[in-house]
Chain A
Amino acid sequence: MPIYGDLGNKLVQHAKRTQNLAHLPPYQTELVRAVTREVRELDKDVASLLEPYQGSFDPSADQATACTLLVNHLSMRRNKRCLLAYHRTRTDKLEELVWSGADPLDLAGLQAGAVNDAAAADGGESSSLSPQEEDYFRQYGDLLAAYKGQWTDIDLTGSLEPPRDLFIDVRVLKDAGEIQTEYGAINLTKNSQFYVRQGDVERLIAQGYLQKLG
């Protein structure tokens, strides 16, 4: 029998580790389930301990039971905090991905970093997100799109670096096809270099097609 709180601790360790990772490690379905089960069992214990007293429990008369109840009570709440912390860390990470422009419809790209390509190709089960997290990812994407839509002239997800130059030198890392700018069309082929307006290519830099030089 594991010590109460042990599993919760594992969740927190997972969460802590996740904070420093670039990708999202697989969702700990089993662990979450086990911690939740522990909470239910503790709650059952509390109920059965209190049952004989019929609601007239006097802590000072039976201190041993009172202590057990207190420990159970605190353990349940601690487990809850662990679960909340674990899930919040992951949703924070998901939100970050949404802000950085990961396509909500293209979750495959998200998994590619976490598992190898062969596993990602199977889709579905190898996802590092729980089904609930996939829902959350989509819904947050919609929410952000709605908020962004009210600031169309600003491009809310644009660069947070203060703009210095209107035009910048970029090198093309991956073929990105032809883009339209107000100075005409540019064909972005790999390894070529351009002097372009930063606002026109910000998106492509964020997505890794272009590299800013200088």
Chain B
Amino acid sequence: MTASMRLKEYSAQLASLVLIILGWEIAAQTMNTNALPPASTVFATLGGLVADGDAFGPLFSTLLRTVLGFALGFLLGTAYGIFAATFKTFDELTKWLIQIAIFTPTLILIFLFLVAIGRTNFTVIILIALVVMPMIGTYIRDALKDFDPDLEGMAVSYKVPLHQRVTGMYLPFLIPPMLAAGRIGFTLSWKVAFLAEIFGFPNGLGWQVRQTYQIYNVAGLLAWLCLFIITLIAIEQLMRFVERRVVTW
């Protein structure tokens, strides 16, 4: 990609954001209602939250739960994907279980877990893992099914030792889908953590959003929301950067 193309891409991406914020500001200024505070007020509130340090407590407690839940779900999902792609019987045994896990509404799981297991950090971590695991598992399983059997035949016919096959063939094949699944999975984890907080877990970003909504503090609601989105963007960019660095072939 040439520099001018990249510049064009960034300017287009920026243009829509500027347009949204501008439209928001103008709409808020002309409507002048409580329901829609101007963008400037919201960002000032956000700035205040960051400057006072009030933002960091909820942010880090949500982030910690997300990271732990995601890590658990990612490990289980990857292991599941490898097993399911390798052993046909295991794939068949877990087929319906995975379908059930995928199609059960997240909200019902959240209600159920928060009530049945209690409102602990552990509950939220288990919840995240349970939602993320089947998504990552099926992604990796399907990616591994594309593994070229000819390559395997070549390795066997050249008597390539197992550890070399793992580092030379399986891992390079496995890492790109793992990174891609990880990126999608992390976004999902972040949302599940947030949802669990909105629907009753008494701290973190989601809890703040719910609180501000209940006292109808719209500027506060949007400020916390912006914090949520900005964190997500930052993490997403970080993961893309890592992906580009690792996947160079």
A and B held together in a complex:
no
- Report which B residues bind A (CB closer than 8 A): none
